[in-house]
Amino acid sequence: MTARARTDARRAAVLGSPIAHSLSPVLHRAAYTELGLGDWSYDRFEVDEEALPGFFAELGPEWAGLSLTMPLKRAVMPLLDEISDTAASVEAVNTVVFGADGRSVGDNTDIPGMVAALRERGIEEVDSAAILGAGATASSALAALARICTGEVVAYVRSEGRAAEMRQWGERLDVEVRTADWADAEQALRAPLVIATTPAGTTDALAAAVPERPATLFDVLYDPWPTDLAARWSAYGGAVVSGLDLLLHQAVLQVEQMTGRSPAPLDAMRKAGEHALAAR
């Protein structure tokens, strides 16, 4: 991207496919309102991997940044001028910031967002953890655990191919990873920290196996909420971190990077997100 004169009105947006469900506009717009950025706008665009290069080519100098969801987190990387170490570590970019010189910089705020969401609930360090699932979010979870877990991480997966991928991510991220079959996933629920990264409905059958004194569950889903697993976990007195917590904390970091204003208004963004989910 070449340097171009900026305009006063700034734009940002979330891209992905599907994208209609995204809460990102609600969170970012709430931040702009609280920060007094009346000339800023944040939209959503249905963009798939094939359309992404063309979308980038049409961006003007008014653009401050982009949020990216699936399936674009890896597809965007060849289009960028620079990629942060955090994003490179998991080969996934969820944040693009356009500098005054026109350079595009990709980052991943999901990883520090996970850490911040856990820290907000008092989870600074754990001696072991379990991950349910082995998709893209699971690799970000591993990267987050690299910062807070001092011991073994057990990943519960459905195939040996997925198991091999998780072990490779563990080696790359310097995390001690052991894999186990999904059929034994009930054992995961006794870990000090359980991170559920699977699609809606996948963990419902595990709800009946929640122990009487569960520790902490981080379920990355937020709609529908609560999941059966999260509801049972809460009923038994366990701590639950939700997908909204993750979305919120990664969005806080995006707002700060795109606007240059810090701290972002966490409370106002949370209230807006909760209100939007309640309205659904």
The reply to whether 271 belongs to the active site is no
Q: How far apart are CA 256 and CA 272, in angstroms?
A: 17
Nearest to 11 by CA among 41, 55, 32, 38: 41
Distance in angstroms between the alpha carbons of the first and the last residue of the chain? 39
Rounded (5°) CA angle 28-89-64: 30
Pick the catalytic residue: 28, 44, 73, 249? Answer: 73
100 HSE (CA, 13 A, CB side): 3
How many secondary structure helices (H) and strands (E) does the chain include?
Answer: 9, 12
Q: Is 141 in a helix, a strand, or coil?
A: helix
Active-site residue list: 73
